Structure 1
Amino acid sequence: MCCSFFKLSTLSLAVMHAMPAVANDLDFTPFTPTQSDFGGVGLMQMPTGRVAPEGEFSLGVTMNDDYHHYHSSLQLMPWLEATIRYTQVPDRKYNNNPNFAPEDRAYTDKGIDVKLRLLEESYWIPETSIGLRDLGGTGLFDGEYIAASKHIGPFDFTAGIGWGYIGNRANLKGDTSLGDDCGRDTSYKGKGGSFDYGRWFTGCMSVFGGVEYQTPWEPLILKLEYDGNNYQSDTLVVKDVKEMPQDSPFNLGAVYKFGNWGDIRASYERGNTWTVGFTLKTNFNTLAQNWVDTPTPAYNGAQGKSVEDIDWDRVATDLETIAGYGDTKVYADDESITVVGSQSKYRNRDFAHEKAAMILTNTGSKASTYHLVEQQAKQTTIQTDIDAAAYRKVANQEYVGASVTETTTRVNPESARGMLQADTSKPWSVSVNPSLQQSIGGSEDFYLFNVGVTAGASYWLTDNIEFGGGVYVNLYDNYDKFKYDVPPDGTDLKRVRTLVRQYISDNTVRVSNLQLTAFDKFGDSFYVQAYGGYLETMFAGVGGEVLYRPLNSNWAFGLDMNYVAQRDPNSEFGIFTEEVHFDPITGRYYRVQTGTPTGHFTTYYRPEWSWFDDLLIKASVGQYLAEDKGVTLDVSKQFDSGVIAGAYMAKTNLSAEEFGEGSFNKGFYISIPFDIFTVKPSASRAVIGWTPLSRDGGQMLGRKYSLYSMTDGRYPNSEFTNR
């Protein structure tokens, strides 16, 4: 009986394992949103109510016979997605004037999309978003939408309402057979690139929707979409370039994912058109550093040593190699130890404080307080005081969760106490850095760039006066294609930036900077600098800056004033003295800047709201290099990895016609910490910028030093203290 029962039980267990389990949500592969044809989370042509995880950054390409989309999306906030897109139209010329664009140059549309998540998904409520497509472009694909998405098992259902390009089917409102886009103004203001909010949520209106199916095979997602557009108002049809028939309103697609870093896409759209694409992606919040770092020394328990019994030169060396404090001066007596130096190793200052505190504690000094004074360009910015007795408890791990942060206090820098015991500072420095300048989507070529190397050197005449400079060596560029001239629209500004070809392509080696700079500080919160010389590649002159930045404050105010003249690209040290010049390449006259005041009053603000975290907003008001006056708004977001992504726009008193193509100055940039890609910690950064067009309006002077950047450690939530 016993044995029979055992056999029966074994058989029952085997049958149970062979039977499929009852389906539930946990059995399905987790659903991950993917990019649409236009960039940004979506189906194919249509968006969804979904957004990506905060910090996700993607680069993608989507192509068919009609359009080539190059797009980049960034999930700036949990509720805000931003997309930049360039679209080439192979069957349409950029411009019919061969002096403005080569004959084989395809028309290029530049667009900016935003999506705002209104509601997060819950048991009953779908994830709901509102969005605007091509809000800053020329209106080629402009449209607006409200979309909602609900996840059920392996399916993700979407339903939405679209206006403009997204709603041209007009199955909800309007009649496209009338040929007037349902009353929507489809022209664009000025020279393109402006925000034409007057037509948002107007014109044809259509319902759209679809479903995404996460197959049991994890890499594969299938999509079915009901298109809200009928393609009869597309530029190729309106311009009589070609027909874009739609044999079916349903689009079919498939996405194959390569883990978390990318995917490839294929779709059959309009019942007659194949579309293919790929996306590469990463997440700026979750990028991790794997360092091979110098370990923190073990606590040796030494105590009671007098100043004379300590090897301070060894201490200074350890502070540099282990804790990252370079150009160090160490002052000490039996009451305190003061370390004055620059921190070039750790973006997260807690690491530096921990290592420095352990090094100083292991000296066995009688000091009760350690003062760590940070410098930037030899100017003191922030002081961190460490309670020696409290830190010894941390070093000895006398309680659970012991941390150096419990022993530190941030204060304004004070004069060093005690005698100078060691000095590793030097009056000179040298550097070599790669350099990349680029412009995307211009009339001459889709991508213009130059790559080179900048070698710099400086010498400190005193602790407050520096003489330094840099030489740029151009390794490769294609700016010989940049033949900007007075364009067909008649723009005639002074050529303050559009002479870039002469400065770069015509000069392999050029002095990019050569100046004398003096720094000073008044009280606890005022920082100043004055400078003169060759301030940047294109301009020379004199100027100064003052910054008011209280300790631990999330706001600051700055003012820079300069008088500059344009450097002659045909002379290493010459300055333009005549305003009007003749260009033998284009055969036309142009104007340059022979001397003008320029400067801005800038407000810096870091919101401390939970839904706007790690944001920096800069607003600058003043006069620009082309003598136009206006405001520049610069907004940047810092992610958990330390990557900073930002965008800026300058709106001046120039009309769109006076400014030229693009209507106003704008651009984007990403600042990437070096140590994300290296095995050693580093506080250095690389900045990659994208400029849609090189134009002369809204252009600021490039200055060697920014007092706000130099004093970034004065804000407690900056990258220098919590990254």
Structure 2
Amino acid sequence: MTVLRGLLALAASVFGPTTVMAQDWRPEYSMYGTIGIIEMPSALSAQDADLSSQISAFEDQTRVSITFQILPRLSGTFRYSIIPDYTGVDTGTLYDRSFDFQYQLRNESEWLPAVAVGLRDFMGTGVLTSEYVVGTKTIGTNLRATAGIGWGRMGSYNGFTNPLGAIASAMETRPSRSSIYGRGGVPAYDLYFRGDAAVFGGVEWQINPSLTFAAEYSSDAYDREVANGTFDHKSPLNFGLKYHPNENYELGIYALYGSEIGVTATSVLNPNRRPAVGGYDTAPMPVVVRPEDLRAARTWDRSVLSDETIQTALVEALGQDGIVIQGIELTDTSIRLRYENTQYRSEAQAVGRISRVLTYALPPSVETFIFEPTRLGVPTSTTTIKRSDLENLENQVGSAEAVYARADVSEATVGDDADLVPTQTSSFKWGIMPYGELTLFDSRNPATVEVGIEAAMRYEIRPNIVVAGSVRKSFYDNRIDNPSISASTIEPVRRYAPYYADQGDGGIDYLTFAWYGRPASELFSRVTFGYLEPMFGGISTELLWRPVDSDLAFGVELNYTAQRDFDQGLGFQDYNVITGHLSAYWAMQNDFHLQVDAGRYLAGDWGATVSVDREFQNGWRIGAYATFTDVPFEDFGEGSFDKGIRLTIPMDWATGMPSTQLVDTRLSSLTRDGGARLDVDGRLYDAIRSGDISDFGDSWGRFWR
């Protein structure tokens, strides 16, 4: 009771008034990878869009956590825990995945604390499951106090009858974990905030801007670990030091529960804080201003400067800037360029660079510049800019906004290719290069790796008609030491991955013929056939409706596929299936993007995949997805349904050099047969959308870069 009285006194100080709040003291991370004291959470939030990765360890556990501040008040965490002998001494290691959410109900004010509610491990196997309500208040300039009440693991030390029992008596009893979770992966709604509760709390003292001392009273008794003899819980008190030299790194060392020493290392990225200050783009040339007496010219002397000379000069000059010209239409007063931008992530920046070159290369009579950027060899839009606007606005304040306001962005016209003079007929590229694939956070192995050599080729018969393929030879792969397939009632469309890895070494990874088109205004099409991916071949078709100025798009995909032989040669197995999806895409105005794909998957199951991503103007994307089909959770297996987290980082953000390259990473639950979709290259929506030039906020700020 002495400890309880102390915590209640601490809570009183937390919720009591104070007139001074700390300045520039950012929240710090707990050993669970979330904002907190040591093992207990606090009610504070990280900076909006902070993406932290942490490894923490003590003798009983190692945790790898990734936390994203989804919104200013909402954070989400994925955690991978390595727990030796969880069920008893010498019983093997448990590799456990868990997810957290915390929502800040209110910010800290001068008189009132910040208050947050959270769920820890709310849809995993329940090993770390807790729920809590917590408050945090800053006292003076260098002291923070936190107090809260927890359930589950956070209600296991010095617990008392659940105060929510006054609302409903059922809240006083917490169901057993096994009766709720089954195979894991399903939110255990009947478990939350039930059973005994306990108080926790602590203080953080900022010794100097780089060093913080923390002390806490933990309400986690480590019951299971103590019972199986792998943990010695001598005290509920934890102490530690946190060193944070800057906003990107944090190190911690802790004395835990009177028996353990723990350490943490945390790294923080934020899409809005790029590591490179400014960019390393080459300086663009200035706009060449025509003399006033030449602006009214209606033509030029082609015996002095021919169309062919201009075309050759433009292809060479723009090629040095990563702009591949695919067609040119040149008249006395206008030029229309169809091109592929291979260097600048922002299409508006590419338009700005091309515009400058045109003011050098074109006769004075050419007043109208018409740009047709392409993706997959297909024009995505038409942007028309007046040369005189460039001359008049280049050096004015707010000139990018002014050019955007005067530019005309519309649908690319269909069926007018006859007037274009082709400058690119075919292109063949090939290469031999090393490759590596790293798979993290498996249920049986924290990390698997495959490295080898890949020979790849790409032949563009026309910019929109492509033959591509690759062959891989593995040098090292620790995934297939003992390939085995678990029993299941579902068609084994993905469980055979170990067999493909074992027997398909040196086989055809993919070999496809793809034709991309624009059958009508606002419509895009794709037909791909061949060996579409390592496990399936056949034909895949797609049609996308996407107006250039719309936040909505809709697509339909239909595939006929057959399962490939394990050796990844030319043969097929007996299994074939028709799959397809109807897709809806919504680019919301708050930087979020929603995608829903509903239809039939490779195992013949029917259902839908829902994806939500937060997107940033600099190209970052962070999101999550979940797939639900008519496969029962019990038949799906561990994890219950397919779900995961995905992250896209643009290379120009990381290096400061202009690039269209992206680094894509996906952290998913176990890859199983339910909800498995064909992995075909060149799906339309993301490719077409990457050429968007209609919204000023997305890219036009880079027009003059």
Q: TM-score, normalised by structure 1?
A: 0.85
SS in 2 for 1:353: helix
SS in 2 for 1:183: coil
Deviation at 1:682, TM superposition (A): 0.7
Partner deviation per Cα, 1:503-531 (whole Å, 9 max, x = no partner): 23444423222122222223221211122
Give the equivalent residue in structure 2 for 1:117: 104
Greater CA drift, 187-196 or 657-666 = 187-196
Partner deviation per Cα, 1:295-330 (whole Å, 9 max, x = no partner): 2112332354727326332122222323x3214322
Deviation at 1:679, TM superposition (A): 5.2
Q: Is the 8 A contact 2:63 2:80 kept in 1?
A: yes
Structure 1 residues 32, 164: CA separation in 2 closer, same or farther (over 3 Å shift)?
same
Q: Distance in 1 between matches of 2:372 and 2:177?
A: 59
Partner deviation per Cα, 1:50-92 (whole Å, 9 max, x = no partner): 1111222222111122221111111122222111111111123
Q: Distance in 2 between matches of 1:251 and 1:682?
A: 47
Structure 1 residues 715, 123: CA separation in 2 closer, same or farther (over 3 Å shift)?
farther
Give the counterpart letter for 1:194 in structure 2: V
Structure 1 residues 434, 684: CA separation in 2 closer, same or farther (over 3 Å shift)?
farther
Greater CA drift, 337-346 or 509-518 = 509-518
Give the counterpart letter for 2:381 in structure 1: I
Partner deviation per Cα, 1:72-131 (whole Å, 9 max, x = no partner): 11112222211111111112369x9xxxxxx98511111001112222222233222221
Q: Distance in 2 between matches of 1:455 and 1:258?
A: 45
Q: Is the 8 A contact 1:316 1:422 kept in 2?
A: no
SS in 1 for 2:283: coil
Structure 1 residues 387, 254: CA separation in 2 closer, same or farther (over 3 Å shift)?
same
Deviation at 1:221, TM superposition (A): 0.7
Deviation at 1:39, TM superposition (A): 1.2
Q: Is the 8 A contact 2:96 2:443 kept in 1?
A: no
Structure 1 residues 25, 425: CA separation in 2 closer, same or farther (over 3 Å shift)?
farther
Q: Distance in 1 between matches of 2:453 and 2:133?
A: 48
Give the equivalent residue in structure 2 for 1:44: 38
| 1:156 maps onto 2:144 in alignment | yes
Deviation at 1:355, TM superposition (A): 1.4
| 1:339 maps onto 2:299 in alignment | no
Give the equivalent residue in structure 2 for 1:204: 196
Alignment of 1:321-332 (within 5 A): 321-322=320-321, 324-332=322-330
Give the equivalent residue in structure 1 for 2:235: 248
1:146 equivalent among 133, 140, 148: 133
Deviation at 1:615, TM superposition (A): 1.5
1:296 equivalent among 274, 279, 284: 284
Structure 1 residues 640, 119: CA separation in 2 closer, same or farther (over 3 Å shift)?
farther
| 1:602 maps onto 2:590 in alignment | no
Give the equivalent residue in structure 2 for 1:546: 543
SS in 2 for 1:662: coil
Q: Distance in 2 between matches of 1:711 and 1:114?
A: 34
| 1:528 maps onto 2:525 in alignment | yes
| 1:317 maps onto 2:298 in alignment | no
CA RMSD, Structure 1 to Structure 2 (Å): 2.8
Alignment of 1:66-77 (within 5 A): 66-77=60-71
Q: Is the 8 A contact 2:43 2:116 kept in 1?
A: yes
Give the counterpart letter for 1:191 in structure 2: R
Give the equivalent residue in structure 1 for 2:397: 400
Identity %, equivalent residues: 27
Partner deviation per Cα, 1:472-514 (whole Å, 9 max, x = no partner): 343432112463322xxx5343321222223234444232221
Greater CA drift, 56-65 or 40-49 = 56-65
| 1:194 maps onto 2:161 in alignment | no
Query: How many residues end up aligned between the 2 structures?
Result: 657
Q: Distance in 1 between matches of 2:626 and 2:128?
A: 22
| 1:133 maps onto 2:120 in alignment | yes
Alignment of 1:576-615 (within 5 A): 576-577=573-574, 594-608=575-589, 613-615=590-592
Q: Distance in 1 between matches of 2:233 and 2:420?
A: 81
Q: Distance in 2 between matches of 1:70 and 1:58?
A: 11
SS in 1 for 2:112: coil
Q: Distance in 2 between matches of 1:80 and 1:433?
A: 42
Q: Is the 8 A contact 2:617 2:698 kept in 1?
A: no
SS in 1 for 2:507: strand
Q: Is the 8 A contact 1:307 1:333 kept in 2?
A: no
Q: Distance in 2 between matches of 1:564 and 1:129?
A: 49
Give the counterpart letter for 2:465 in structure 1: I
Structure 1 residues 420, 606: CA separation in 2 closer, same or farther (over 3 Å shift)?
closer
Partner deviation per Cα, 1:190-228 (whole Å, 9 max, x = no partner): 311211122112122222222111112x22111111222
Give the equivalent residue in structure 2 for 1:374: 373
Greater CA drift, 276-285 or 531-540 = 276-285
Q: Is the 8 A contact 1:66 1:90 kept in 2?
A: yes
1:639 equivalent among 590, 595, 616: 616
Greater CA drift, 378-387 or 665-674 = 665-674
Deviation at 1:335, TM superposition (A): 2.4
| 1:701 maps onto 2:678 in alignment | yes
Q: Is the 8 A contact 1:61 1:71 kept in 2?
A: yes
Give the equivalent residue in structure 1 for 2:9: none
Q: Distance in 1 between matches of 2:232 and 2:65?
A: 25
Partner deviation per Cα, 1:592-628 (whole Å, 9 max, x = no partner): xx111111111111222xxxx2221111111111222
SS in 2 for 1:300: coil
Partner deviation per Cα, 1:220-269 (whole Å, 9 max, x = no partner): 1111112222333xx324xx421645433322111111323322211122
Q: Is the 8 A contact 1:331 1:418 kept in 2?
A: no
Q: Is the 8 A contact 2:288 2:356 kept in 1?
A: no
Q: Is the 8 A contact 1:484 1:498 kept in 2?
A: no
Q: Distance in 2 between matches of 1:361 and 1:425?
A: 27
SS in 2 for 1:92: coil
SS in 1 for 2:550: coil
SS in 2 for 1:229: coil
Greater CA drift, 528-537 or 516-525 = 516-525
Give the counterpart letter for 2:616 in structure 1: F
Give the equivalent residue in structure 1 for 2:214: 223
Q: Distance in 2 between matches of 1:205 and 1:104?
A: 30
Q: Is the 8 A contact 2:172 2:195 kept in 1?
A: yes
Give the counterpart letter for 1:466 in structure 2: V
Structure 1 residues 721, 545: CA separation in 2 closer, same or farther (over 3 Å shift)?
farther
1:513 equivalent among 473, 493, 510: 510
Give the counterpart letter for 1:565 in structure 2: A
Give the counterpart letter for 1:221 in structure 2: T
Give the equivalent residue in structure 1 for 2:666: 689
Q: Is the 8 A contact 1:454 1:472 kept in 2?
A: yes
Deviation at 1:31, TM superposition (A): 1.1
Deviation at 1:432, TM superposition (A): 6.7
SS in 1 for 2:238: strand
Q: Is the 8 A contact 1:347 1:721 kept in 2?
A: no
Greater CA drift, 703-712 or 464-473 = 464-473
Q: Is the 8 A contact 1:327 1:424 kept in 2?
A: yes
Q: Distance in 2 between matches of 1:512 and 1:719?
A: 36
Q: TM-score, normalised by structure 2?
A: 0.87
Deviation at 1:420, TM superposition (A): 4.7
Give the counterpart letter for 2:81 in structure 1: T
Give the equivalent residue in structure 2 for 1:573: 570
Q: Is the 8 A contact 2:280 2:657 kept in 1?
A: yes
Structure 1 residues 331, 166: CA separation in 2 closer, same or farther (over 3 Å shift)?
same
Q: Distance in 2 between matches of 1:678 and 1:284?
A: 13
Give the counterpart letter for 2:686 in structure 1: S
Q: Is the 8 A contact 2:215 2:239 kept in 1?
A: yes
Q: Distance in 2 between matches of 1:434 and 1:54?
A: 38
Gaps of 5+ in 1: 1-23, 97-102, 578-593
Partner deviation per Cα, 1:671-713 (whole Å, 9 max, x = no partner): 2212234453011212122233232221100011111012103
SS in 1 for 2:480: helix
Give the counterpart letter for 1:224 in structure 2: A
Give the equivalent residue in structure 2 for 1:270: 257
Structure 1 residues 383, 622: CA separation in 2 closer, same or farther (over 3 Å shift)?
same
Give the equivalent residue in structure 1 for 2:467: 467
